[in-house]
Amino acid sequence: MRRSIPLAIALASATSAWSATPASYAALDKASAAACAAASGFRNPIVHAPVRFADTSGIDARLVEGRWPQPHMKGRQGTMLCLYNRRARRAEVQEAAMWQAKIAQTDPPVRDTSWRLTAIGGSAPTASTPITLMLGSDGHATGTSGCNRYSARYVLNGASLRVVPPFIGTGIACPAAAMNLERRYQAALQKASTWSLTPNGRLTITQQSGGTLSFRAER
């Protein structure tokens, strides 16, 4: 079964039509999620985080889950693979039923991994102690923020991420620079809106304002 919004692909010859800034990535994620949700035709679709390919192809790939709207399907769950063309701003979907059972086991892959901060707002952190994040299966975000350990509740639904204050943590006093970075990091994390994984496995958390936190998985 197939539903699609016409997809105009000019993979090899076209050039990127958008600028790679935090704000543009946030707008791109919002647009591709909406296009994939609409193209799926599902009731109450859940659009999962994108796998973003290079500008030479200009494609974002997403899995979409939802319930079939047709009466004869009796509300059964379905899964589709969505390819979103960033230049054409259009999506095409194809049923991917064979992946449905695997999603519950592997999605989202961001959970239960220790992530180390590599950039905040596009700049490398200056803390001597690593800043880390783990989104646990128990619904708590935990880690170190350059000075103290912290914990807060979070809600993750597809590509959306919300960290719920208050932050609970240790009360160690550190040098002023470390304390300022800690406050900046925690404030940025509380404003999280979406998350995505790059093809090389880096985690990006984006705020509604377009600000970003970038992480790599700790080995």
- Phi and psi at residue 51, in whole multiples of 5°? -105, 115
- Tokens (6 digits) for 159: 């590509």
**pLDDT beyond 90 at 51:** no
Q: What is the pLDDT of residue 205?
A: 94
**pLDDT beyond 90 at 149:** yes
Helix (H) or strand (E) holding 103: helix 100-106
**pLDDT beyond 80 at 100:** no
Q: What is the rounded distance in angstroms from the CA atom of residue 54 to the CA atom of residue 31?
A: 18
Q: What is the rounded distance in angstroms from the CA atom of residue 169 to the CA atom of residue 185?
A: 14
At 104-144, the pLDDT tens digits run 444 447 888 999 999 998 899 887 789 999 999 899 999 99
Residue range 166-194: mean pLDDT, rounded: 93
Q: Work out whether strand 43-47 and strand 51-52 pair parallel, antiparallel, or are unpaired.
A: unpaired
**pLDDT beyond 70 at 81:** yes
Name the CATH topology of 115-217.
Lipocalin (2.40.128)
**Residue 8 pLDDT grade (very low, low, confident, very high; cuts 50, 70, 90):** very low
At 165-179, the pLDDT tens digits run 899 999 999 999 999
Mean pLDDT of the chain: 83
**pLDDT beyond 60 at 9:** no
- Tokens (6 digits) for 164: 């719920």
Q: What is the rounded distance in angstroms from the CA atom of residue 94 to the CA atom of residue 2?
A: 5
10 Å Cβ neighbour count for 90? Answer: 18
Of 93 and 97, the structure prediction assigns the larger pLDDT to 93
At 12-40, the pLDDT tens digits run 333 344 455 667 777 888 899 899 999 99
Domain boundaries, the chain: 22-106, 115-217
Q: What is the pLDDT of residue 201?
A: 78
Q: In a 10 Å sphere around its CB, with 0-12 CB exposed, 13-18 middle and 19+ buried, how is residue 84 labelled?
A: buried
- Tokens (6 digits) for 84: 């979103």
Residue range 34-49: mean pLDDT, rounded: 89
Of 4 and 74, the structure prediction assigns the larger pLDDT to 74
Q: What is the pLDDT of residue 140?
A: 95
**pLDDT beyond 90 at 57:** no
pTM tops 0.75 = no
